């Protein structure tokens, strides 16, 4: 499970890495984004997806925690921050988005927690690539509308078996999409679950190749803390 991540890169780097229209670097939401060291569930986050008649890439702010279109209320979102890649194609909460509404969630790194054998408190670890460039988590997004209320757009992160760098700490990892698969992952014409599953297998095999890890302060446990000290080695 991934319950916290980091996005430090400036707008121009995000635009370049995700091949977004250059003008987006100077426009909301990217222009308003400030470095975040402790992004937490239910918070608004920039997300890359395709939109419009020409399926152009765009960047919009969505809330972390997917609310299925059929949900009676928004509270379910806080429980759907992750989706298992192995079963998302068949789960009612995710299967429609799996086939039709995939996205990339820009990030600079993420946290996972280990559980010591002696039963002491869990230890947070920070994982990041050996490059300073942002990367993209595999995500699914949804739009929820009920009873004339303001529509809410939300997303979830797909997870898989832990990458080698993560495995000593936790059994699962958020899946990272290699840049050469961005176009395929966002392709709205890809609706075949088998084709989507193939991309996720590639993400599982290659997405975590360059991850580095270090234990960090338990201050990250609280969403109230958000500063560079959170990613410093403990």
Domain with residue 186: its CATH number is 3.90.1680.10
Where residue 143 falls among pLDDT bands split at 50, 70, 90? Answer: very high
Residue 230 lies in a domain: no
Residue 231 lies in a domain: no
Where residue 120 falls among pLDDT bands split at 50, 70, 90? Answer: confident
Closest CA to 108 of 193, 192, 4, 194: 4
Residue 45 lies in a domain: yes
Residue 178 lies in a domain: yes
- Between strands 152-161 and 56-64, the pairing is parallel
Q: Which residues of 97-124 are buried (b: 16+ CB within 10 A; e: fewer)?
A: bbbebbbbbbbbbbbbbeeeeeeeeebb
pTM of the model: 0.96
**113 touches 100 (CB < 8 A):** no
Residue 198 lies in a domain: yes
Residue 219 lies in a domain: yes
Where residue 146 falls among pLDDT bands split at 50, 70, 90? Answer: confident
Catalytic residues: 2, 112
Residue 233 lies in a domain: no
Q: What is the largest CA-CA distance in the chain?
A: 57
Where residue 119 falls among pLDDT bands split at 50, 70, 90? Answer: confident
**164 touches 176 (CB < 8 A):** no
| pLDDT for the residue 169 | 95
Q: Is the pLDDT of residue 77 over 90?
A: yes
Q: Is the pLDDT of residue 149 over 80?
A: no
Work out the average pLDDT over 2-6: 96
Work out the average pLDDT over 79-106: 97
Report the mean per-residue pLDDT for the chain: 95
**Domain region containing 175:** 5-224
Q: Is the pLDDT of residue 234 over 80?
A: yes
| pLDDT for the residue 26 | 93
> How many domains are contained in the chain?
1
């Amino acid at each position: 499970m991934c319950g916290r991540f980091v996005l430090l890169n400036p707008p121009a780097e995000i635009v370049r890495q995700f091949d977004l229209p250059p003008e987006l670097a100077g426009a909301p939401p990217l222009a308003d984004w400030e470095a975040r060291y402790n992004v937490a569930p239910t918070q608004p986050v920039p997300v890359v997806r395709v939109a419009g008649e020409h399926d152009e890439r765009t960047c919009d702010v969505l809330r972390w925690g997917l609310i299925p279109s059929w949900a009676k209320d928004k509270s379910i979102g806080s429980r759907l921050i992750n989706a298992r890649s192995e079963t998302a194609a068949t789960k009612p909460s995710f299967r429609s988005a799996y086939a039709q509404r995939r996205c990339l969630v820009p990030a600079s790194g993420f946290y996972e927690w280990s559980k010591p054998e002696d039963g002491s408190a869990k230890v947070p670890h920070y994982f990041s690539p050996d490059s300073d460039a942002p990367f993209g988590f595999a995500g699914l997004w949804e739009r929820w509308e009920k009873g004339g209320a303001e529509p809410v757009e939300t997303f979830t992160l797909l997870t898989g078996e832990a990458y080698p760098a993560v495995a000593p700490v936790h059994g699962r990892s958020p899946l990272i999409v290699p840049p050469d698969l961005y176009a395929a992952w966002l392709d709205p014409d890809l609706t075949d679950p088998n084709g989507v599953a193939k991309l996720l297998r590639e993400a599982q095999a290659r997405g975590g190749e360059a991850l580095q890890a270090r234990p960090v302060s338990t201050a990250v446990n609280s969403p109230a803390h958000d500063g560079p000290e959170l990613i410093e080695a403990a």
